[in-house]
Chain A
Amino acid sequence: MSAPDTADRVLLVAAVVVILVAGVLLLYRIWRGPSMLDRAISLDVLAALIIAGLGAKSAVERDPFYFPIMLVLAFLGFTGSVGIARFIAVRDRPPARHAPDRPTGGPAAEEGPR
């Protein structure tokens, strides 16, 4: 009874560590992301990772305490991404296309709006 429980605990702790590593890498993408759309997609993935991490915690403790939080994140986690895609991404168009790629200033013919 003891050895399979130890195997379960090792598997679940490894899952939590993998999700935490994925979250740290995703925070680097959010910090780095060239445009607001990259950050919006990354925040969507971050909501999915938070749901997965809460699920792994619930699987370790056999406790359904965090299930309502996972449910709310599952159907409200996409609203920020939709708002950025509909309203903010139109507004930051010139710095999103030119400033991160060519920080020293590109050719002047491309700087005008399309």
Chain B
Amino acid sequence: MTVWVQITDTLGAALVLFGAAICLLGVVGMLLLPDVLSRSHAATKPQTLGLLLVLAGVALRLRSGMDLATLALIGFFQLMTGPVASHLSARSAYRTGQIEHGELLVDDLDKQLTERAPDPAPDRGPGAGQD
């Protein structure tokens, strides 16, 4: 019995170290990448995968029900709020013109924004251009 307890403890510690290494990798990506969008892409790795691995390691070392429920709730809220913040930052970066349009391979949003922006479309019905 105590052999399995020891194996679980060591596995939890190794998972915590692995998640911390993934956090460090994401932060190195945030230092090296050149653009707001690519930095946001690198920033989601410590927020989701690294943090979930750390929480799994902590859950393997503290094995009571209340702690497992709290850790699952922390992971759930992090998974819910991370994409919201990342999406809003990327949207604001695009709308304020802080990205390099020449480096994008496919830009589906640019056509819609540039077609809408200089032409306010006065012949549309009321409420058609409101979004």
* Contact yes or no, B47 A12, CB < 8 A: no
- Nearest to A52 among chain B residues (CB) is B54
* Contact yes or no, A48 B17, CB < 8 A: no
Interface locus among B65-73, B103-111, B123-131: B65-73
Q: Which residue of A4, A22, A67, A97 contacts B23 across the interface (Cβ within 8 Å)?
A: A22
DSSP majority for the A interface? helix
Given the interface pairs A22-B20, A45-B27, the reply to whether A85 lies near B62 with Cβ below 8 Å is no
* Contact yes or no, B74 A70, CB < 8 A: yes
**In this complex, which of A74, A75, A81, A82 has the most chain B Cβ atoms within 10 angstroms of its Cβ?**
A74
* Contact yes or no, A78 B84, CB < 8 A: yes
Q: How far is the CB of B56 from chain A (nearest CB, A)?
A: 10
* Contact yes or no, A49 B46, CB < 8 A: yes
DSSP majority for the B interface? helix
* Contact yes or no, A4 B67, CB < 8 A: no
Shortest 7 CB-CB contacts between residues of A and residues of B: A11-B13, A78-B85, A75-B77, A15-B20, A85-B92, A74-B77, A78-B81
Query: Residues of A at under 8 Å CB distance from B?
Result: 1, 4, 7-8, 11-12, 14-16, 18-19, 21-23, 25-26, 28-29, 35, 37-38, 40-42, 44-45, 48-49, 51-52, 55-56, 58-59, 62, 64, 67-68, 70-71, 74-75, 77-78, 81-82, 84-86, 89-90, 93, 96-97, 114
Given contacts A11-B16, A41-B89, 19 further A-B contacts (CB under 8 A): A4-B6, A12-B13, A19-B23, A21-B24, A40-B85, A40-B89, A42-B43, A48-B46, A48-B47, A52-B23, A52-B51, A52-B54, A59-B58, A74-B75, A85-B91, A89-B92, A89-B93, A89-B96, A89-B98
